[in-house]
Amino acid sequence: MSEFEPQIVAFFCNWCTFTAADLAGTSRLAYPPNLKIVRVMCSGMVDPKYVIKAFLNGADGVLIGGCWPGDCHYINGNLKARRRVAHLTEILKQYGIGEDRFWLRWIAASEGTMLQEVAREMTEKIKALGPSPIKTQQEAA
């Protein structure tokens, strides 16, 4: 049997983390192809529904990437994201999707190497955890 390859849905802020991914690319820093990147204007616009839907549809992990506090293009979208992530984490945790599968990380536009690091770290972690418990159950309604 082939090795389990996690599917990670990544919501990256246009101004910092997505640019970091771009930088990683142009700098030829390879990172695991398990991340499916969705470019959003701000980490603060990631509606909890996006995250819930991703997990219900079989994502093994969700990563939200935003600017460091103080650097948000929209002043404080990332701080709103952090509160929302804390809130949603509590709810998902109850049903078996813990903090180890749902990450928020600050990655600045210049931090291509950090993006590579986080992508590797998360992929490894979820590989060790195994597939999402939802995937092994029946298709969630």
Partner 1 sequence: MSNFTTVSYKKDELNKELATLLSALLEKKTVDGIMVPCRQPSGTVMQTLITDPVQTAQVDPFAPVAPVSSAKLASSLTAKPSGKKIALVMRSCEIRALIELVKLNQASLDNTLLIAQDCFGRYENKDFYALQEKGLTTESFIQAAQGGTTATDGLDVIEACTVCEHPVAANADIRLCLIGADAGTFSVEAASEKGEQAIKDMGLSGSDNAGKRADAVKTLVAARQDAFTQKFNEYREKINSFQALEENMVKCVNCYNCRVACPVCYCKECVFVTDTFRHDGDQFLGWAQHKGTLKMPTDTVFYHLTRMTHIGNFCVGCGQCTSACPNDVNLTMAFRAAAKVSQDRFGYESGRSLDEAQPLTVFHDDELVEVTGQVK
Site residues for partner 1 per CB under 8 A: 48-49, 52-53, 55-56, 68-70, 76, 79-80, 82-91, 93-97, 103-106, 133-134, 137-141
Least CB distance to partner 1 at residue 74 (A): 13
Least CB distance to partner 1 at residue 113 (A): 14
Least CB distance to partner 1 at residue 131 (A): 13
- Calpha distance 112→101 (Å, rounded): 22
Q: For 29-78, give the secondary structure using H, E and C.
A: CCCCCCEEEEEECCHHHCCHHHHHHHHHCCCCEEEEEECCCCCCCCCCHH
Least CB distance to partner 1 at residue 28 (A): 25
Considering the complex, state which of residue 85 and residue 126 has its C-beta at the smaller distance from partner 1: 85
Q: How far is CA 8 from CA 29, 32, 69, 77, 102, in A?
A: 19, 10, 24, 22, 9
- Calpha distance 114→39 (Å, rounded): 18
Considering the complex, state which of residue 26 and residue 80 has its C-beta at the smaller distance from partner 1: 80
- Calpha distance 77→75 (Å, rounded): 6
Considering the complex, state which of residue 28 and residue 35 has its C-beta at the smaller distance from partner 1: 35
Considering the complex, state which of residue 28 and residue 115 has its C-beta at the smaller distance from partner 1: 115
